[in-house]
Structure 1
Amino acid sequence: MKQARGAVLGWAWLAVKPIVFIVVFWFALEIGLRAGSADAAYPYFVWLVAGLIPWFYMSDMFSTGSDVLHRYSYLVNKVKFPLSGISTLYSLSTLIVNAVLFVILFVIYAAYGMPWDIYLIQVPILMLLMFVFWDMFSILTSQLSGISKDFGQLMKALSQPLFWLSGILFNMNVLETSGFGWAANVMLFNPVTFFVTAFRDALCDKRWFWEDPVFFGCFVAVFVATLVSMVLVYRHFHEEVSDVL
């Protein structure tokens, strides 16, 4: 990846940044603001990291992945590489880095003495599902960004609000108990919220990610809508993107 090129530690820097990010948030929330609850059935730090690590992958796909054709425009114009292949290769390289962070997560999980059970089998399944969905998202949005740079800027602008509003730093159940049930209903269609919740269900709450039929059904609807949109956009614009770039 470009951001690791020329550095002495190379790809290690791709993991260093999120690790520093995790430590800072842990210190600010659990130590500074006392956000962790002593009555919880699991350590707050494990809960926090279980949401942050998948977010790092999704954040990259939402910002850089949605503009990947501009980033690697030479592959489009000179090599004539398939547009979908560019998105897929970027998605895969980003997922590999994220897999290293998941290994670190399991080390933290074991260090806290949490149980190894059947629910953990969901983690690799969810990683594969996350890869498929966000690869489709990248193929869809990167072509729209290729046609319009404004669309790419919009995706980058929405990345930070998505982080704060998707339940990464707070439990989504708080919305319902605080009288914001309408917001909780909207979040049912947020794929970021789905994956963050699903990983936390597997690691902390010991639930299957399909146990909530409404939440899972909403994700399936978003998945299908993204797939259909990707196919339609690819058919109409994949030949025009290289001319615009």
Structure 2
Amino acid sequence: MIKDILTNKKLIQKLAKNDFKQKFAGSTLGVIWAFVQPIITILVYWIVFDKALNQGTQGTKAGISAPFVLWLSAGIVPWFYFSEVLSAGTVVLHEYNYLVKKVVFPINVLPVVKAVSSLFVHGFFVLFTLLVYLLYRFPITPYILQALYYSCAMMVLTIGLIYLTSSLCVFFKDMAQLVNILLQVGIWATPIMWNFDAMVDKIPNWLSIVLQLNPMYYITSGYRDSFIGQIGFWEKPGLTLYFWCFTIVIFLLGTHVFKKLQPQFADAL
């Protein structure tokens, strides 16, 4: 599967570019909507949690505090990518059913196309977040480069999940609705709007462990470590090892299920 992805990397790049353009084809503002909606979402959460609920500054394990909007942005930007790719990737085989039915087309690259397509917007928001930090005159350190590592880690996790959910969605169409529900729950189960470090002493130990088993906890906290906390991923060896073990298992499971069901895709669609 990985060999096929590398062999068809030019095809993936071309399809990803077209996929990005087609998302907003026909709308007046076009691709601008890809950037407007997440920005509005951040503004809404900022007004509700910071201005209305008076969250103020948020601290990290390293003892560094940051204004709520900076703390929120660092955690929610990776979630935007994860939720968009998983939601769109689950139905990718239905969306590209005309390619799935072509015998000579390498359909195992389609889940990767969705992951690459959303990188355009994700890259923009990482730079946008960096700009906001500069406007707030928040110190930028070399740890910011870790965002590249966490982006790659999130991408591998997401692709593995898409291989699994997209293949199952061909035969169980309710999978798309189930994924959307899990994403709605996941955004609150992941410490994005609330500070896990501040709450860890107030929740049962078993719940704290369960929340940290969420692989997106590793990603969102990693982005905050890069932008705010100045903590290297190598300083969290246990959590890093767990994340990659989980991700590799999901990737192997997803690709195995995809390859096993692939001969039946054309008939089912």
**Where on the TM-score scale, by shorter chain, does this alignment land: which range?**
over 0.9
Query: Are residue 161 (structure 1) and residue 180 (structure 2) matched?
Result: no
SS, match of residue 154 in structure 1: helix
Measured on the aligned residues, the alpha-carbon RMSD in Å equals 1.8
SS, match of residue 231 in structure 2: coil
The equivalent residue for 1:187 is 211
- Tell me by how many angstroms 1:120 deviates: 0.8
- Tell me by how many angstroms 1:29 deviates: 0.7
The equivalent residue for 2:150 is 126
The equivalent residue for 2:47 is 27
Q: Which amino acid aligns with 1:8?
A: T
Preserved CA contact (<8 Å) 1:194 1:219 = yes
The equivalent residue for 2:93 is 69
Query: Are residue 145 (structure 1) and residue 169 (structure 2) matched?
Result: yes
Q: Which runs of 5+ in 1 are unaligned?
A: none
Preserved CA contact (<8 Å) 1:46 1:108 = yes
- Tell me by how many angstroms 1:105 deviates: 0.5
The number of equivalent residue pairs is 245
Q: Which amino acid aligns with 1:52?
A: I
- Tell me by how many angstroms 1:145 deviates: 1.1
Query: Are residue 8 (structure 1) and residue 28 (structure 2) matched?
Result: yes
Preserved CA contact (<8 Å) 1:175 1:181 = no
Cα distance, 1:30–1:232 mapped onto 2, change above 3 Å:
same
Cα distance, 1:96–1:187 mapped onto 2, change above 3 Å:
same
User: Any idea what the Cα deviations from partners look like across 1:103-141, whole Å, max 9, x if unmatched?
Assistant: 111100111112222201101222122222212221221
The equivalent residue for 2:232 is 208
SS, match of residue 149 in structure 1: coil
Q: Which runs of 5+ in 2 are unaligned?
A: 1-19
User: Any idea what the Cα deviations from partners look like across 1:38-97, whole Å, max 9, x if unmatched?
Assistant: 876222211100111111111112222222212222221258632321111111111111
- Tell me by how many angstroms 1:165 deviates: 1.0
User: Any idea what the Cα deviations from partners look like across 1:10-58, whole Å, max 9, x if unmatched?
Assistant: 1111111000111111111100110123876222211100111111111
Cα distance, 1:211–1:38 mapped onto 2, change above 3 Å:
closer
Query: Are residue 55 (structure 1) and residue 79 (structure 2) matched?
Result: yes
- Tell me by how many angstroms 1:208 deviates: 1.0
Cα distance, 1:81–1:23 mapped onto 2, change above 3 Å:
farther
- Tell me by how many angstroms 1:179 deviates: 2.9
Preserved CA contact (<8 Å) 1:189 1:222 = no
The equivalent residue for 1:81 is 105
Residue correspondence of structure 1 range 91-102 to structure 2 within 5 A:
91-102=115-126
- Identical aligned residues as a percent: 29
Preserved CA contact (<8 Å) 1:83 1:139 = no
2:143, 2:153 → 1: CA distance? 16
2:204, 2:86 → 1: CA distance? 26
SS, match of residue 235 in structure 2: coil
1:38, 1:64 → 2: CA distance? 32
